[in-house]
Chain A
Amino acid sequence: MMKINKRFVISGMIFFFLIYGGKLFNIRIKDVTLFVFNCPYNLSTAIEGSCLFFTEIFDSNLAGDITTALLVLGSGILSILIFGKLLCAFICPFGFIQDVLYKVRGLFRIPKIDFNEKITTSLNVIRWLLVVVFFVGIGFCTFCPVRYVIPPLAGYQTEIEIGFFISIFVMGLSFVNERFFCKVCPLGTTIGLFNKISPFKLKKNCTACTECAICYEKCPMDIKEIYTERETADVFMSNCILCGECVNVCPEDNALKITALGVPVMKSSRKRYYKKNK
């Protein structure tokens, strides 16, 4: 059985809009970018991802044109400030592709692979290293697994570089491990740096929590703090993709919530638990 939730449907629609919007409806929004892995090597994408322009800041043709550069990079940063981690939950097409892969695995009842804490810790180090790699101007595109997925999906071919093999590896892992690439994603991590000022936040009521670890079991990003935290309400970690799964499965009233500008938009409760987890 494949579980289709609202988030999956919405992110699917956004996916189609971003990837095929240009091709099918001729929607092409120029010089505005979104801070997600929507590969601009897909030449007919509706709204480009910012990744190319940040990682190839000196190589891309922005160098000469300051206004366009400001627009392209500025809109990318603005998208972080406005959407925060909703970029990962709803907007990033590569996030959606990973969701699809993982769901297909479930459909075929292929066993998943969970990482132990050691691997999770190493992935957390790699994630920050990749942020450095991403921004120092080496050019992430060479290694980028997205390049061999999204442009081909839209009908564009790119030359085979080392990224191709990385891509096979990453896609394979994303098949058996939920959102594997997100666990090391430099963009997601960068968005995470803005978590503190993001309009959307994940919060915890530490007293209401029973440390049942159900949220941790469910969390695609293996964020342990979500269940062990007992001191602060701030459990919005830099690698969280704000998928809201933890809130859906937490059986305790008000233990977890997602807020928009401080107002709760999603709250855990026993009632919700029974409703969502039949």
Chain B
Amino acid sequence: MKDQAFLRRKERYVRNFVRLTNKTLANLEEIRNEIGGIELIYQKLSNLFVENKLITDKPIIGTFCYMIPDEIIIAAGGFPIKLCGGNYIAQIAGDEIAPRDSCPVVKSALGSFEMELLSIYTDCKLAIVPMSCDCKKKMAEKLVKYTKVLPLHIPSVKNEQNFKQLIPLYKDAIKHIENETGKKITESSLRKAINLTKSINREARKLMDFKKKLDTVITGSQAMAIVNAYQYIDREEYLSILKTINKSLKVKVKKKETMKRNKPRILLTGSPIVFPNYKLPYSIEELGAIIVADETCAGDRMLNDPVLVIDKTYEGMVRALVVKSILPCTCPTFSSNKERIYRLKQMIKDYQVDGILYNVLRGCIPYDFEQKAVEQLSKELEIPIISIETDYNTEDTEQIKIRLEAFVEMIKMK
């Protein structure tokens, strides 16, 4: 039994956690750009993060990063959720568990578990942790205190030999998931799950295509919330919300209800941006810029790459999912991260980008390492770049705004 002192502390954490979430939600709702259906997204986020309601009656299987395909969880009758944390209060709670120099994503995940901040953490049946970065590796061990944990080895180099070893590992993960959900994955349930995510991917792509247009109909913060929310909503339901949103955006384009055209168009990349930590996107958009391209892993990257099943057997589908989860992944925890540079280059062209915003979460070494290469790209393409190193704290927001403002003005003058 938890003692009184814990409950009092928990109550304090929860209060602040909710306050912070509400602030982000309020900021989002204030954006003067109405989109039909987006209120459903906000409502879902509020249900989970503010009211802490039960969002599903399926067993919750938690994952981190990009490398665990949701399909295998859905097919087994589970509810896949990304446990990466984005809340500053949770980060503070995690400070006592993880070392000072570890990243806020991990700290806030740990803090959420420790302080039992949300149902998705307390009800989590199994956490599958890909061994991507060092923080995740060490976190996996700490999580054992709260839930069942399955560490999943991810090779640092993408080659045939390493890839071959992955298939049995993913199959093993499937067994673990099936044990938790009590339901075996069948060929038809897996096919159904793949078709579902395929449809979501298709709609998500439509959403991204809207952002490519010079006359934007959606702000980056809004788009980010929509994509972020994917992790926390039942996928069938999410698909229908996404369809509503896309329809409404289409109408806006038709009616020419677009936003001002000459805003500097920003590409956001770097460490993950997880709800409700929208400090950077919200600040820069408040200053008149607009985030059109999002390369971060809790953002558009999560829904960008489609699965292609070539061999329609169970084996073939698992293979296709592993291919999709590893090969196009532009995560810098892979030793070579050239794919990401090419990707950014292509995005700069596709989204007609004027400037790059590079987010380094304090403690996130892989993205910090890759910063130089992106700066090099920025020089080569003559697209200005600004790097912001911060964590989830809210104290440095004003300081960051001053730097962002100078950056935005500089682009406007060009």
Contacts and interface: CB of A to CB of B under 8 A. Distances in A.
Q: Do A and B bind each other?
A: yes
Interface of A: 1, 109, 111-112, 116-117, 206-214, 217-218, 230, 249, 251-253, 270, 273-274, 277
A274 B315 CA distance: 22
A213 B202 contact: no
B345 A207 contact: yes
12 contacts: A1-B312, A111-B315, A210-B305, A210-B330, A211-B339, A217-B310, A217-B320, A217-B323, A249-B310, A251-B308, A273-B306, A273-B308
Contacts of B346: 207-208, 252
B162 interface: no
Contacts, number: 55
A273 B309 CA distance: 12
A212 B328 contact: yes
Interface of B: 158, 160, 164, 202, 205, 305-306, 308, 310-313, 315, 320, 323-324, 327-328, 330, 338-339, 342-343, 345-346, 349-350
Given A207-B345, A208-B346, A211-B327, A217 B308 contact: yes
A169 B403 CA distance: 69
B interface majority secondary structure: helix
A interface majority secondary structure: loop
A212 B205 contact: no
A249 B324 CA distance: 13
A214 B342 contact: no
B132 to A, nearest CB: 18
B308 A207 contact: no
Nearest to A211: B339
Contacts of B350: 253
Contacts of A117: 160
Contacts of A277: 308
Contact of A210 (B315, B320, B343): B343
Given A207-B342, A251-B305, A251-B306, 17 more contacts: A1-B312, A116-B164, A208-B346, A210-B305, A210-B330, A210-B342, A212-B305, A212-B324, A212-B327, A213-B323, A213-B328, A217-B323, A218-B308, A249-B308, A249-B310, A273-B306, A277-B308
Given A230-B338, A277-B308, A212 B323 contact: yes
